[in-house]
Amino acid sequence: MVLVGIAAKLYEAMGIQRWLPMIPNSEPMSKSRHDHMDRGYISPGEPSVLDENYISWLKEHPSAISSFQRMINASKGKQIVVFLDYDGTLSPIVCDPDRAFMSDQMRAAVREVSKHFPTAIISGRSREKVYSFVKLNEVYYSGSHGMDTMGPARENKSYDDKYQYKTIDEEGNELIVFQPAKDFLPALQKMLVEMTEKTKNIQGVVIEDNRFCLSVHYRHVKDEDYEKLEEEVESVLENYPEFHMTRGKKVMEVRPSIEWNKGHALEYLLDNLGFDNVLPIYIGDDRTDEDAFKVLRERGEGFPIVVSSKPRDTMAFHSLHDPSEVLSFLIRLGRWGFKNAYPIQA
Ligand SMILES: O=P(O)(O)OC[C@H]1O[C@H](O[C@H]2O[C@H](CO)[C@@H](O)[C@H](O)[C@H]2O)[C@H](O)[C@@H](O)[C@@H]1O
């Protein structure tokens, strides 16, 4: 019974009401098909019911699902804008970066959300690559950790025209592309060749060309070879003082040292959307998403939501356990938008 109590506490904090029907005097499960889908969802990576650390972390970063109504109440009179990270948020983390596909269900949920709220995906991948996974024309894309952003066309004098150009999408809509790290492209291509050469004898290394940054994946590198790989990456970087390395999930990321990150991309998109009263929701799992969480905190608006199955330091207010919970949240948001928000004009 004690175990059941702890588990119930955990699920309640996570916003998962799967346990409730088993507990006497609890609210019965709704008969609505959609409600049932949400409540019946079982996340693949549920924490151990005894993970007290996770339970107390959830008190600091409550589930965005259980806080949904509060978020919606806060959006009164404001335009909701949705920002989503890709890997680990819209698709689960998998061994092969080229096979991080998004499920059809997730695609449908993002499409539904984007019908009612401006939606952007901000990823560490190249913009083209993330589009090839998502395949939705209804959303804006920002690749290379925000260094390649395609957003709504708007005269915006705060950004240097040297790095912006106008373009037309397949449906004839005018868009603007902002690439603040454009000057670094030749050096990046040179570095990619050197990095590939230097690491070619280390088994398991995958170098991904993310256009304005490089990802050196070491998920398949033997532990005993990791140090060697790190040395090689650092030795290449020594010849490129205008670049630096950051770390993600089993990946070293080499980026131009300019003051531009996912947080700046978020602000750029918000500027170009041009709403007066806005409520941004940003969902992400990566360390690089913290830059965007920080921006929302500093602006004092919106909801930064971290995707994490473990307690961790974060600037986010709310949390979701994994991409399956992201799906539940987006389904709910899309459904709410369908009933309550005006459709976005094409
Ligand atoms: O900003 P994101 O969209 O989250 O991109 C961050 C990096 O994600 C990818 O790598 C991660 O996901 C892979 C697929 O699940 C996994 O194999 C890898 O270990 C993770 O680090 C992507 O491949 C990187 O280029 C992105 O920078």
Q: Whose Cα sits closest to atom 5 in ligand 1? A: 124
Res. 344: pLDDT tops 80:
no
pLDDT at residue 48, rounded to an integer: 54
| Closest C-alpha to 234, from 201, 187, 182, 191 | 191
The DSSP bridge pattern shows strands 148-152 and 140-143 to be antiparallel
Q: Is 100 in the pocket of ligand 1 (CB under 6 A)?
A: yes
Reported confidence tier of residue 343, pLDDT bands at 50, 70, 90: confident
pLDDT at residue 5, rounded to an integer: 44
Starting at the edge strand found earlier in the chain, the sheet holding 243-248 runs 206-209, 214-217, 251-256, 243-248
Distance CA 234, CA 47 (A): 36
Distance CA 325, CA 228 (A): 38
pLDDT at residue 150, rounded to an integer: 96
Q: Is 179 in the pocket of ligand 1 (CB under 6 A)?
A: no
Res. 172: pLDDT tops 60:
yes
Could you tell me which residues are beta bridge partners of residue 216? 207, 252
Q: Measured from the CA of 250, which atom of ligand 1 is nearest?
A: 19
Q: Whose Cα sits closest to atom 8 in ligand 1? A: 87
High-pLDDT (> 90) share of the chain, %: 79
Could you tell me which residue, 25 or 60, shows the higher pLDDT? 60
Which token pair is 91?
């698709």
Distance CA 165, CA 319 (A): 36
Distance 97 CA to ligand 1 centre (A): 6
pLDDT at residue 42, rounded to an integer: 34
pLDDT at residue 345, rounded to an integer: 60
The stretch 171-190 carries a mean pLDDT of: 95
Res. 124: pLDDT tops 90:
yes
Res. 301: pLDDT tops 50:
yes
Q: Whose Cα sits closest to atom 6 in ligand 1? A: 124
* pLDDT tens-digit readout, 218-242: 999 999 999 999 999 999 999 999 9
Res. 129: pLDDT tops 50:
yes
Distance 39 CA to ligand 1 centre (A): 29
Q: Tell me the domain boundaries of the chain.
A: 2-60, 68-180+260-340, 183-256
* pLDDT tens-digit readout, 238-293: 999 999 999 999 999 999 999 999 999 999 999 999 999 999 999 999 999 999 99
The stretch 35-54 carries a mean pLDDT of: 50
The stretch 310-338 carries a mean pLDDT of: 97
pLDDT at residue 342, rounded to an integer: 80
Res. 34: pLDDT tops 60:
no
Res. 154: pLDDT tops 90:
no
Identify the CATH assignment for 68-180+260-340 out of 3.40.50.1000, 3.40.50.2300, 1.10.3720.10, 3.30.360.10: 3.40.50.1000
Q: Measured from the CA of 94, which atom of ligand 1 is nearest?
A: 15
Q: Is 207 in the pocket of ligand 1 (CB under 6 A)?
A: no
Q: Measured from the CA of 249, which atom of ligand 1 is nearest?
A: 21
Distance 227 CA to ligand 1 centre (A): 21
What ipTM goes with this model? 0.99
Reported confidence tier of residue 118, pLDDT bands at 50, 70, 90: very high
Distance 315 CA to ligand 1 centre (A): 20
Q: Is 93 in the pocket of ligand 1 (CB under 6 A)?
A: yes
Res. 37: pLDDT tops 50:
no
The stretch 211-219 carries a mean pLDDT of: 98
Burial bucket for residue 215 (CB in 10 Å: 0-12, 13-18, 19+): buried
Res. 35: pLDDT tops 50:
no
Q: Is 87 in the pocket of ligand 1 (CB under 6 A)?
A: yes
CATH number of 183-256: 3.30.70.1020
Q: Is 214 in the pocket of ligand 1 (CB under 6 A)?
A: no
Q: Is 253 in the pocket of ligand 1 (CB under 6 A)?
A: yes
Q: Which of 44-53, 117-126, 263-272 has the lowest mean pLDDT?
A: 44-53
Could you tell me which residue, 42 or 107, shows the higher pLDDT? 107
Distance 344 CA to ligand 1 centre (A): 30
